[in-house]
Amino acid sequence: MSCRIKFRPILLAFIFGTVGIALTSGALAYQASLIPASRLINPDELVKILQSAKSEKPLMIQVGSHVLYTQAHIPGSEYIGPASSESGLQLLRKRVEPLPRSKFIVLYCGCCPWSHCPNVKPADDALRAMGFTNVKVLYIPGNFGMDWVEKGFPVAKGD
């Protein structure tokens, strides 16, 4: 009887703990919200860097959907593919592999509201894991249309 009484809380804690970890890990896996503020760059800061003659120009990589990239992207940025998929991550790793690890790289997407973007965090994690030390993620709170295009920042179209 006493064995049953002790066993129940342990069993329940195990079940709830497992469910909790599963839920949180699923949610945290791609949450852009978990990227520390120190690794973010705002659109106006990026535009200043792009327009400054003195600043080092970053390699800008769009890690979202091709359909969105074709409609509008930051001039000079490259399309790699959605980093939420393994194939997109592989293309990203391949693209940056030959670069010095101090290379200034800006990642961006803007497919969805920031907390729902499935692409930027895996891309940032991949570059960090490769040893890149100067990576910034463009902070786009709503989407690329609202926070970049409609604000009048420079835009290019097509492939």
Partner 1 sequence: MKKWILLGLALIAIAGLYFTTRHHGVPTGTRGKGIAEQSLAPDFSLPDLSGQKLDLSSYRGKVVLLDFWATWCDPCREEIPHFVELQKRYGDQGLQIIGVSMDDEAEPVRDFYQRFKMNYPVVMGNAKTGELYGGVLGLPIAFLIGRDGRITAKHIGATDISVFEREIATLLRVK
Yes or no: say if 120 and 92 are a contact pair by the CB < 8 Å rule: no
Identify which range of 53-61, 82-90, 99-107, 130-138 contacts partner 1 by CB under 8 A.
82-90
Q: How far is the CB of 89 from partner 1 (least distance, A)?
A: 14
Yes or no: say if 127 and 39 are a contact pair by the CB < 8 Å rule: no
Q: By CB under 8 A, what part of segment 14-73 binds partner 1?
A: 16-17, 20, 23-24, 27-28, 31, 33-34, 65-68, 70-72
Q: How far is the CB of 52 from partner 1 (least distance, A)?
A: 26
**Size of the residue set binding partner 1 (CB under 8 A):** 40
- Closest listed residue to residue 71, CA positions, set 154, 145, 129, 147: 145
Q: How far is the CB of 104 from partner 1 (least distance, A)?
A: 25
Counting every residue, how long is the chain?
Answer: 159
Q: How far is the CB of 103 from partner 1 (least distance, A)?
A: 27
* Residue from 7, 11, 13, 45 in contact with partner 1 (CB under 8 A): 13
Taking the C-alpha atoms of residue 44 and residue 13, their distance in angstroms, rounded to an integer, is 48
> Dihedral, CA atoms, 159, 75, 134, 95, nearest 10 degrees?
20
Taking the C-alpha atoms of residue 19 and residue 95, their distance in angstroms, rounded to an integer, is 38
Phi, psi of 16 (to 5 degrees): -65, -40
Binding site for partner 1 (CB under 8 A): 9, 12-13, 16-17, 20, 23-24, 27-28, 31, 33-34, 65-68, 70-72, 82, 84-85, 110-116, 118, 141-146, 148-150
